Structure formats: structure tokens, C-alpha cells
Structure 1
Amino acid sequence: MNDNELPKPIADPYIEAKPAAATAAGYEPLLAQFAREYLLDRRNERRWKLLFRLIWLALIALAAWTIFLQRHHMQNPIAPHTALVEVRGEIAADTEASAELLLSALKSAFEDSGSQAIVLRINSPGGSPVQAGIVYDEIKRLKLKHGKKVYAVVEEMCASGAYYIAAAADEIYVDKASVVGSIGVLMDGFGFTELMGKLGVERRLLTAGANKGMLDPFTPVSPKQQAFAQAMLDQIHQQFIAVVREGRGKRLKETPETFSGLFWNGEQAVALGLADHFGNLDFVAREVVKAEEVIDYTPRDNVAERLAKRFGAAMGEGAIKAMRGGMNLR
């Protein structure tokens, strides 16, 4: 070794490994924090799942209890009483005034030995002639079978298909300002052929059957098809007229406008024989039926169903995902 050469330092394994050990030690707090957050997240997820399950169980229990009370109430009605069935809103399938729901309510009301008479409380602009016809026919059948009277009580509106149903009643009561009538049938739509020509849009419609595209809004109107549709409307209109004449009988004071689709206020309706008297539900129950106690037979969403719908709309897909692991809603 030359005197000018300095001795090389001896490598210390401890010193060499120190940076790596320090690096690993620096990750330990991060790993611990990650583990804590993961465990906290899992704990919160379990809590939310448990909460959602408890809420649904509470709603199911409330729904079952409400159904039990309703059935118990119907099985043990206050007798004698006036049976109420509401005809509210559009008369159509899958609505509150569908034939399916109204028929169920009417059957229960007629079959109850405590009901002295049935009151149809109507507030509807009308709707499907098919649905209205089904209800009309069932009221006539039930009246004949059970020998109970039916009274229609009009609130704001009893028009078109709603009046079709009311015609089955023994008497119709209105307010002086109620809207009554509109005895007619309509079929509406739009035509876009001129607009398509201006925009340069071509309609390509393929059909199997010469009239399959009848009244297509993007195709010029065919006089033959239009006449066919008009004849169908006229036939349904005649069915409507026959029902009104049958239901109202000699009380109806026909004029050229009676079946024109016009509507009148309650005062005019009484004068024209479209209605009989002025009165509301309480008046009819107390003074006409002589059974002041009113029991509502109208099928409705119970409180639990409404809460469930609101809860489902509010929580949406998140609630379903949270419960997917442990609870089957179907």
C-alpha cells in the first residue's frame, strides 16, 4: 500500500440496510391508516344494510297490520251505513278509476249486509268507453241481484265516461256549479305531412294489410279510412246515447244539443234532466239513504304502501344495492 493511498472504509451491513428499513417504516403508518379506513367502511356498510333491512321489515309489518285492520273493519262494519265508492280521475286501465278497482269496491259494497245503499262520488273528466261500459253493466247487475239503490253524487265534474257510469244510478245529485255532460266520443291525433315536406323528411312505412297504417300521423289522410273511423265513433256514440236514455228514462228532456258533446253546469243539468237534485255526500247519506254513517269501500294505497313508494323513490338504486347481499325483495 502506498502512503498516499487512503484505506477504504469497511462496509457496514447495518448502515447499508438502514435506508430500506426507513422506507418500510415510512409505509407502516399509511398501511395502518388504510386498514383502519377499510374496516370503518366495512362497518358502515354493514350498518347501512342493517338499517335498510329494518326499515323494510317495519314497512312490511305496517302494511300487514293495515291490511288486517281494513279486513277487520270490512268484516265488522257499522250497521246500518251508506257505502261510498269514489270515481276519481281518468277512467282507464291501471288508474284509480279503472274498472278492475271499481268493480271490486262495488261488489264489496253491495254484498255487505250493513250497507243500505251505494253512493258513487264522482269527480272525473271521463276516459275509456270500454272501462266505463264495464262498470255500468256491473252496477246494473248488482242492483238487480241485491235490490239496493245507487246514488251518484257529482263534485266538480262528471263528464263523458264518468256520466256513462252515473247513468246507472237511480238518482244523480250535483252542485249548482258542477260540470255535467259531454255525451260524445272523440279520437284525436296530429298530422305532420306538410311539415315533413318542408323539412325534406320522407316517411317509409311498410305494412302487411292495406289499412294497417290507418290514421298514421306521418301519412296523408285516406278518405276511406277516415270514413271508417268516423263510422266506428258514431256507433260508440249511439251506444252511449242508448245508455243515457235507458238510465235517465222519462226524466231526460232531450234537445238537439243533449248528445252533441256539450256540457252544462249543475243547475242546467237538473233542468235538462241530466241530474235530479242538488246535494252532496253527507246530504244524501243523511236525508236520502237515512244512514248517516259513511263507510268508504274504495280501494286505496295504504299508508305503508305510500311510505314504501316514497322510500324507494328517495333511496333508489343505492338502497337495493346495499341490500342485495342479504335480502331478496321479490
Structure 2
Amino acid sequence: MVSAPLFLRRFLPARFRARQPLVPVVRLQGTIGMPMPLRSNITLESVARSLETAFGFGDVAAVAVIVNSPGGSPVQSHLIMQRVRALADEKEVPVFAFAEDIAASGGYMLLLAADEIFADSFSLVGSIGVVSAGFGFDRLIERLGIERRVYTAGDRKMILDPFRPERPEDVARLKDIQAEIHRKFIAIVRERRGARLHGSDDELFSGAFWSAQEALDLGIIDGIGDLRSVMRQRFGDNVRLPLVADRRSLFSRGLLGRSEASAFVDPAEVVAALEERARWGRFGL
């Protein structure tokens, strides 16, 4: 029997549907956070439609999520993870996650949405920690003879302003916030991985990242393998693995984003692009 296109399958009577296990695939690739013309980052807004579609077919055997991300916004990472879990619980569908080049920090949080996590043998996984990075321009503008004038109501309104000297009390405040986020991240890891974790807290939650084999030994992942191989082992050689993507999102980020960037490039965008490159470069990618 000829298999119906994916978007028509839900409307066909059961006797006309192809007898093939269906596992929709959603790809989450890039840094996590607010998109800009030079960057097409992962946000809940950018992936929500694809996730809803993937879980929307009533006869799916599972949903697979591919993650290739060095991290980024903890808020967006958490929102996406929660949405995947909500859909999985609502539809009673198991979720499998697969790390590609890197699934670190917020990228690893995305993996935690899955019931089982796999990685390629060359993947880098983990980095369960929190980082903030920026630049200090106060000496530069002083050399250039630039006087910056800023007026605020509130003593802490300009905390960590890159155009003025760093203040110890500002750094202490930032570290307090980082510690709180780190504690919440650790709690999520413990909740999702439970007794599968092996190793001390100092080893697991230091912010270190590991090879796939090291991550497997620590219980950070469940196995080593690629999407096609693992899904064929679980659901048979005839399993269908259609990639679910939001066409409109791809168009707006791929085409419109480029035209906007070519028309006007904000210096802040250039700095943001360099920071993104640094995120990937930290892992040798």
C-alpha cells in the first residue's frame, strides 16, 4: 500500500494508513535566545509550531528531538523543555533526544526533556553551569575622549554597565543570581535523570563538558547512537522519521533575516554574532 503524505495521514481511516511506525523529528540547532538579523537562535516562539505538529499526530510511536546547541538563554531553554514535557505527558508519547556536535548548558537542558538521551560517539555533552560574558569599554572611550552621559533613577539601574569601571558589588550581585540559576538547573537534572546519575556533585555540576562515553559513564546520557540507528532498533527497519519544520519560520529567518542584515548592520549585532561564535568556539567547533 502506498503511504499517504504526512499531513494527510491523520484524516485517513485507520485501514488506509500505512502500517509503519511514525516518529516525527524536530531539530533544535543554534544558540538559544532572542533572534536577531545576523542570528537565527532557538526560542520557544521559533519551535512551538514544529513541536505542536510533531505531537499532533495521533498514531505516533514517539517523538525525536535533535539538539545541536552550545547553550544560551536559560529562560528559553527551560520554556522549550517544559513545552516538550507538557506535550509528551498530554499525548502520552515517549520522547527521544539526540545530541549532535554539542549539547551543552542550555543545550543539555533541552536534552532533559526526553525520556532517553543519546549522543554520537564524537559529541560533547554537559556543561551544567551558568556563565555570563561581556566586554568593558570604559578605558577605550576614555582614550578616545568620549564623555558618556547617563541619568538614572535607582542606584542599581546601571549595574555592570560596560562603559564604566566594574564595581565589586555589581559582580557579587551577578554571582548571587548565577548561583540561584545554577541551583535550579541542578534540580532539573536531578529530577529528570534521578538514579541514573553517577559521580559526585563536584564532578557533575562543575560546568565541565564531556565526551559521549564520559557522559554515558556519568549517567548524563543513556546511550551512544544516531537517530536512524536507534529508532530502527526500537521500532523496526520500516520506521518513518519525517523532519517537522515550520516553513514560515524558516523563510522569515533565512530570507528576511538576510535582507534586513544586508540593509543595515547594527554594531550590537556584530558583537552578538562574535559572542555566538565564541560559544561554539569554546568547544572547538
TM-score class, shorter-chain normalisation, is: 0.7 to 0.9
Instruction: Give the Å deviation of 1:201.
Output: 4.3
TM-score by length of 2: 0.76
Cα distance change on mapping 1:308 and 1:110 into 2, 3 Å = closer
Match of 2:241 among 267, 282, 294: 294
Partner of 2:174: 229
Match of 2:205 among 259, 270, 295: 259
Matches within 5 A, 1:40-55: none
Aligned residue identity for 1:292: V
Partner of 1:119: 64
Instruction: Give the Å deviation of 1:195.
Output: 4.1
Instruction: Give the Å deviation of 1:182.
Output: 1.2
Partner of 1:13: none
Identity over aligned residues, as a percent? 36
Cα distance change on mapping 1:312 and 1:278 into 2, 3 Å = closer
TM-score by length of 1: 0.66
User: Does the CA contact (< 8 Å) of 1:117 and 1:289 recur in 2?
Assistant: no
User: Does the CA contact (< 8 Å) of 1:185 and 1:236 recur in 2?
Assistant: yes
Partner of 1:82: 23
Instruction: Give the Å deviation of 1:252.
Output: 1.0
Question: Would you tell me which structure has more helix in proportion to its own residues?
Answer: 1
Cα distance change on mapping 1:78 and 1:217 into 2, 3 Å = farther
Distance of 1:153 and 1:311 partners within structure 2 = 29
Q: Secondary structure in 2 aligned to 1:217? A: coil
1:182 counterpart = 2:123: no
Instruction: Give the Å deviation of 1:227.
Output: 1.3
Match of 2:229 among 277, 280, 283: 283
Distance of 1:309 and 1:220 partners within structure 2 = 39
Match of 2:103 among 149, 153, 158: 158
Q: Secondary structure in 1 aligned to 2:195? A: helix
Q: Secondary structure in 2 aligned to 1:211? A: coil
Aligned residue identity for 1:282: R
User: Does the CA contact (< 8 Å) of 2:10 and 2:58 recur in 1?
Assistant: no
Distance of 2:168 and 2:209 partners within structure 1 = 30
Aligned residue identity for 1:154: A
Partner of 2:268: none
User: Max radius of gyration: which structure?
Assistant: 1
Which consecutive residues of structure 1, in runs of 5 or more, have no partner in the other structure? 1-68, 317-330
Q: Secondary structure in 2 aligned to 1:81? A: coil
Instruction: Give the Å deviation of 1:225.
Output: 2.0
Matches within 5 A, 1:58-207: 71-72=7-8, 79-94=20-35, 95=40, 97-207=42-152
Aligned residue identity for 2:32: I
Partner of 1:44: none
Instruction: Give the Å deviation of 1:248.
Output: 0.9
